[in-house]
Every structure is written in structure tokens, then in C-alpha cells.
Structure 1
């Protein structure tokens, strides 16, 4: 039996080779060797399936591969589409939030721009606490030595006058001794030789806190005239009387600033009431200058926050300050 099977296989192989060469020459595919049914022997290379069925199986496998590939591509496109949708939604939410924040900021800025500028004034009447009185005496003569002696005698009379009125030696001092030769002046006129040549001047300065006494004594200078003393005001921009000065400004500054600010807020409240708003916090504030003037005399050119008067002959003073405040309006 084994020998018969080997012979059949050898015959089949020989037939297959001959048939293959014959059909290869003709250009046709070689015929497949079909063995009788029931025989278990199969030639080498036989697939056991018809050619048409094998092609169908291969095409079905390729179709399944393409289907799987398309499904994978579809899944990737779906994932990309989902991420794009999420990104678009996030962008929309960000734009809406940014617009809301910007609108609120513009609203706050618009609220901050609503303000009113007002001025507040505070005035206070005070009394001077320092008196400064310069008593200037002058003597003329052709003899310088004699003019100097005459000046010393005149100055002694002034010192005695002040001492008798109650001023201490610490409150009185001598200063500003000045001698001028009229003939030595290049700008002098031609008739200077007819005038006394030497002019000697001196100043007795009184500086006291007893302002009431200084004011009373300043009205008694006629006694000096009767004693032969002439007080000079030549080339002096100040008056012959004492100057009364208020030196305690720093002690009243805080209270006056508070009063001026209160006045400004009252004015701002009136403006706010007329516009249907309420007064808020201070946006900006500036302080003017403190002015000190004579109580019964307005300073020349005195304005809001202006300086004081040059005339200080009044014992009673008026202190004035002006502040400018910007208040925010609410509502």
C-alpha cells in the first residue's frame, strides 16, 4: 500500500509538471489536479478551497480591514470635533466674562468721574502777641564829633522814655548806626554846600510781648517831642509806630483747616442735593495760604488764599485760609 501511494504521487507530480509547461507555453494557467473523492492523499500546495471562494475570503478580509480603519478614522475625527467644540465654548465664555469685567470697570470709572469742586473758607479773629517798634532818631551837623554827641544824647532820651513807661532793658536794644556825608555823595546836587554836611542816624528797637503797653506808649510820642527828640521816618517804608505780629499761627492751623473743610463739604452737599446725588469721599484737596491781616482793614489785592497785608499797625488780626476740595458724587 505505501508503494502504490508513492507511485501515484510520482505520476501526479510528473503529470503536473508536464501540464504546467504546456500551459505556460500557451499562456493559460495550469489545471488543478483533482483526485478522486474519498482518497486521503492531497498533492503539495493544495489549499483545499476553490479559487473563487479564496478570492472572496480575501476580499472580505480586506473590506473588514478598511471598515476597521474607517471606524478608527471616524473616532479620531469625532474626538477632534469634540475638542474644537470645547475650545469654542471656552472662548465664548472668556469673551463674555471679559466684556462683563470691562463694562463694570467702565461703570466704576464713570462713577469716579462724577465729582464736584468746592472751596471752603475759615476765618478767625486773633490778637497779636508780639510788638516790634523801631524808633529812629537823626541828627545833622557840620562837625561829625558834635553830631555824634548830639545823637548819643537823643538816644539816651529815647531809652529813658521807654524805661519810664515800663519796658525792661532786655526788651530794648540799639542798632543801625549810620553816618552819611552829603558832600561826599557823587549824586548830590550843587547846593549841598549850603546844607549841614553830616547826618547821623540810629535806631532804638523795642521788642516786647506786652503788646497792650506798646500800643499805649506809641500814642505818647509827644513827650519825646517836648524833650527835643524828633523821630525820623525818612527813607522808611514802615510807619513810625510799632508793628503788631501774630506768631501763634501753627497752634490754630489744624482747627482752621478742619473748619474750612467742613465749609467745603457743606457747599458740596448743596450741589449734590441739587443734582440728586450724595457726597462721597474726598477725591483731591489743596490748601491755600494763610493770610493775616488787620482786622479792620482789608489787605490790598487780598484774594482767596492770598498773603497778608504789609500794614501791621493794628493790634487785632484776622486769620483766613481757603481750601479747595474735590468730592466724589454717589448715586
Structure 2
């Protein structure tokens, strides 16, 4: 009986030692894996392209003032037809032109009006060019004095007459720019791993930032900068 109890005690002790060893190994291995998993470097990769605008929106506003409404409407219509003819003879199509309704203001009808308003009526109307002929727009803007010589009264408001330049070809360059930003991010991560005497492991997470398009500078709004930043997290291993 005593011998049996002693044998059981020995077996129990041996089992406890083995279990403790396995548990210790498992915990040690888990800690090492956790530390390895926790070593992460987050880097950003930039890709930029300079592109040329492929669409232009050019508003040409004519303005008139007078003492009779009929005169204002007639002069606005005459000016708009002159602007239209000028554009058509210089390479634009009817499909690229649109004309707004005329807007005529009676100054005496305003709440703040007094008898001394000068010319009673002012009117304006806009012809807008929507085109892909960006270079032609830029060239023709330098020749607007020809319309002035014809008696056309164009608005001198720089804001209202400013040309909008847009780039609509983003989808065509997106894949290559995403690839470039990811490649640049990896190069940064590789240099970091090298300096920390580690190796680059698998990607933990990746985030592609939004594309942004803006003017290269205020003097050349027809030239755009397309930019994207990708953020990538890599695991570092020994």
C-alpha cells in the first residue's frame, strides 16, 4: 500500500514538473511572439504628378447701362451675338457655348434708391465656354481687345471673368500613382529596418489617402499638381 502511494506521488511530481516546463516554454514563446508582433513601423509614401488641365470653363459677361429697358436688352443681345461670332470664327463650336438669361436691374425699384441714380437701368448677360481646347482659350483671352474695338462692353470683374481649369483624367493615372506611393513607402520602411538592424516583415495595415488636385501656382492655373499619400504599417522581425 505504501509502495503504491509512493509511486503515485512520484508520478504526480514528474507530471507537475513536465507541465510546469511546458507552461513556462509556452509563456516564453508567447511573449517572444507578442514582442515580435508588436514591433511595427508606420511609414508614408508620396506620389505627385504635374498634369495639364484638360477642360476650361470661360465666362464672358457683357454689361450695359441706360435709361430704357428696351435699349438694355437690345444692347445685351447685340453684344452676346458679337461675342458668339468672335468665338465661332476662332475655333469654337456651338456645342461648347451656352448663354444665360439677361439680368436687368431697375435702380429706382431698389429700397435705397433716390432720384439721383444716374442711368436708371443696368443689365448683364453671360456667354460661357465649356471646352477641352484649353490652349485655344489661353490664346484667345489675349485677343479680347478685338471685341472692345467692336463696342462690346465686357465686365472688368476679374473674379467673374476668371477661367476655371480642371483636370478630369484622374482615373487614368490613379493605378500608377497608388503603386508609386506604396513603393516609396516600402523604401522608407526598408531604410528604417536597416538602421534598426531588423528585417521588414508583412504588411500589418495599409491606407490609401485621398487624391488632391490643385494649381501648380497662381500664375499657371492650367497646370495642376495631383498628389496622393499612402500610409503603410509593416511588421519588423529579427
- State the TM-score bracket (shorter-chain normalisation): 0.7 to 0.9
User: Deviation of residue 102 (structure 1)?
Assistant: 2.3
Across the aligned residues of Structure 1 and Structure 2, the Cα RMSD in angstroms comes to 2.4
User: Deviation of residue 286 (structure 1)?
Assistant: 2.2
Pairs within 5 Å for 1:1-331:
74=1, 79=4, 82-83=7-8, 85-186=10-111, 188=112, 193-234=116-157, 237-238=159-160, 240-295=161-216, 297=217, 314-331=221-238
Distance 2:142 2:21 in 1: 85
TM-score relative to the length of structure 2: 0.88
TM-score relative to the length of structure 1: 0.65
Larger RCO (CA within 8 A; separation ≥ 6): 2
Query: 4+ residue runs of structure 1 moved beyond 6 angstroms?
Result: none
User: Deviation of residue 231 (structure 1)?
Assistant: 2.1
Distance 1:248 1:205 in 2: 22
Report the CA distance shift for 1:213/1:237 in structure 2 as closer, same or farther (over 3 A).
Answer: closer
Distance 2:87 2:152 in 1: 13
Distance 1:191 1:81 in 2: 120
Unaligned runs of 5+ in 1: 1-73, 298-310
More strand by share: 2
Work out the number of aligned pairs and report it.
Answer: 238
Q: Computing the radius of gyration over CA atoms, which structure comes out larger, 1 or 2?
A: 1
**Residues 137, 203 of structure 1: 8 Å contact kept:** yes
